Amino acid sequence: MRQPVVAIHQPQYLPTLRYFAKAAACDVFVYLDTVQFQRRGFQNRNMVKTPHGARMLTVPVNADRETAIRDVAIAGDRWIDKHVTTLAHAYGKAPHYGWLRDELVPLLSPGAAKLSDLNIATTGWVFQRLGLKCREVRASELDVAGTKEDLIVAICKAVGARTYYSGEGARAYQDPATFAAAGIELQYQQFVHPTYPQQHEEQGFLPDMAAIDLLANAGPRSHDILRTATP
C-alpha cells in the first residue's frame, strides 16, 4: 500500500484552479493556518470575471503583521452584499450559476468570525463540487512545530505522508536535501491552465480566476476539465 501524498497550502478565499489541481493530485491536503497572514496576498481575496473584466473580491480583516492565519478576524459583514451582487453580475447568466446562488452564497452569510473558517468552508464546498476526495486537515490540529522546510517535513510525518507535492514556485527556495534526509520524496506541480467556455466572451479567455468561474460555466464537466491541468 502506497504512502499518502500530501499537499500543503495556506487557506485562501475562493482559490484558483492551480490550488485545486494540487489538491487533486494528493491524498491529504493540509491548510497551513499556523503561519503569518500575508497582506496583499490571496488569503482574503481573489478574482472573478465580470462584464468589465477581472474584479477582485476582498474580505476585510483585522490583522497585523504578526497575526497567524488561524487568528485573523473578519472585519464585519458589510462586504457580503457586495460579493453576492458581484457574483450575480459576473455569473448570473452562466449555465450553472444556481450552484453559486444556492450553495456558495449561504456560506458567505454572517456567522464566520475568522477568515480561516470562511476560507476552509468555501474551499471545502469547491472540493465537493469538483469531486475531490483528498482528506482535509488544518495544520493547527497537528502537533507540529518548526519553520520553512522543517515545518513541511514535520507536517508530512504527522499525516503519514512520504511524498510532498509542492508548488512549482517553491523550487527556487526549497532545499531538496532536507526532504531527502527525512525520507520524504519531493515532487513539483506542473500546472497547465485549462481553457473552457467563459461568460463575457468578448474579453477573451481570462485565466487565474477563482475556481468558481469554472464551476459556474462548466458545472458537472468541471472535474474532467480540472484533470487536464496536470499533464
The whole-number mean pLDDT for each consecutive block of 10 residues of the chain, a chain of 231 residues, reads 86 98 96 93 96 96 91 95 97 98 93 92 98 96 89 94 91 88 93 96 96 98 94 62
Q: In what order do the strands lie in the sheet with 5-9?
A: 135-138, 28-31, 5-9, 163-166, 185-188
Give which of 180, 171, 157 is closest to 28, Cα–Cα. 157
Could you tell me the residue ranges of all domains in the chain?
5-227
pLDDT of residue 111: 74
Give which of 114, 83, 118 is closest to 101, Cα–Cα. 83
For residue 205, what are the CA distances in angstroms to 30, 89, 93?
A: 31, 18, 17
Set of cell numbers at residue 36: 503569518
pLDDT in tens, 150-168: 999 999 999 999 999 998 8
Secondary structure (3-state) at 194: coil
